[in-house]
Amino acid sequence: MIVVTGGAGFIGSAIVAELNARGVTDILIVDELGKDEKWKNLRKLRYADYMEKDVFLDAVQGDILRVEVEAVIHMGACSSTTETDASFLVRNNFEYTQALAQWAADEDIRFIYASSAATYGDGSRGFSDNERELDRLVPLNMYGYSKHMFDLWARNHGLLDRIVGLKFFNVYGPNEYHKADMRSFVNKAFHQIRQNGRVGLFKSYRPEYHDGGQKRDFIYIKDAVAITLFFLDNGDIGGLYNVGTGEARTWNDLAAAVFAAMGREKAIDYIDMPDALRDKYQYFTQADMGKTHVAGCRVPLTRMETAVREYVTEYLLKDDYLGA
């Protein structure tokens, strides 16, 4: 059985959908459905069982999980970059991952977990996924630091050669509808454009970047899933690996792609960035994909304009979800 934590969430549900497309249904989905709409991501998926995250952890720690697990793909976490409850993030993102990783290592279970490009901070120290350079990184927000804490713990406890941590960059695509303010810009822009024909982008507060010229490494969900499952298929590989395209594109580029996909004229307003965000904003991210490629992962990546068009026309306009 394959366990997918966060399996009702954005990346987790897309992983389950791709496993289903492979004919795999012996899947235990672990999540916390709460009161939002992410339960809808489950409707097209095929899986053997579902457990709430606390029940699953109790079963693992109490040695009462009565299934044979071959792999854990741990995507469950609080992914809000604006979350200010540091203790909650430590419990949810760090300590929970610690417990699962140690259990998986003790039971010789393949363990793949979601780290984040937020661990790289302002990018001034580069975007290398070399484990030896972890101590140099300074995340800008507590979410990024909670992920960084586990990366450091796994390395310092000798686990990183036995597990895989994936540093996801800016992922967008179907099944993120429940994420409220943490939805991708593509999703937000689609609704803004449909409502009033315009879209808002943050002004730049650094002279080297013009308004909307800040750059990020944007990766389509289907490509991110393909990279993730490469590491499931190649169980002898361990370590930290970036999940991005290796190409930084501007927010202006991304906005233009959404307008084009919707057949609308481009109309962008540049808006003030909230004061609370200005010191925590990443102006540039670009995954160094060299290590991932050396590992043998050569997933054909979808050009941003093509991916945005598919997301808009095949999913957003149809209010549709991934799933076999």
Q: Which of 163, 177, 186, 153 shows the shortest CA–CA distance to 311? A: 186
10-residue averages of pLDDT along the chain (324 residues): 97 98 98 93 97 96 93 92 89 95 96 97 94 95 95 96 97 94 94 96 96 97 98 97 98 98 98 89 95 96 98 93 76
Establish whether 143 is a catalytic residue: yes
Instruction: Look up residue 189 and give its amino acid.
Output: A
Residue of 40, 44, 179, 188 marked catalytic = 179
Q: What is the pLDDT of residue 324?
A: 60
Q: What is the pLDDT of residue 260?
A: 98
User: Encoding tokens for residue 255?
Assistant: 């906005």
Q: Which of 218, 186, 196, 185 is nearest to 265 (CA)?
A: 196
Q: At what angle do helices 221-233 and 10-21 cross, to 10 degrees?
A: 60
Domain ranges of the chain: 2-172+217-245+286-301
pTM over 0.85: yes
CA distance to 212, 226, 252, 284, 291, per residue, from 205 (Å): 11, 36, 16, 13, 33
What local confidence, expressed as pLDDT, does residue 148 receive?
97
Spatial CA neighbour of 215 closest among 260, 138, 282: 282
Q: In the beta sheet, which residues pair with residue 27?
A: 2
Give the type of residue at 66: R
The per-residue b/e assignment along 152-161, b for 16 or more CB within 10 angstroms, e otherwise, is bbbbeeebbe
Say which amino acid occupies 305.
E
Select from 31, 37, 95 the least CA-distant residue to 61. 95
CB count in 10 Å sphere of residue 267: 13
- 221 vs 314: CA distance, rounded Å: 14
Fold classification of 2-172+217-245+286-301 (topology level): Rossmann fold (3.40.50)
Number of neighbouring beta carbons within 10 Å of residue 269:
13
Q: Considering the candidates 47, 50, 113, 143, report the single residue annotated as catalytic.
A: 143
Residue 285's pLDDT is 95
The two beta strands, 239-243 and 170-172, are unpaired
3-state SS, residue 71: strand
Nearest alpha carbon to residue 85 among 155, 142, 162: 142
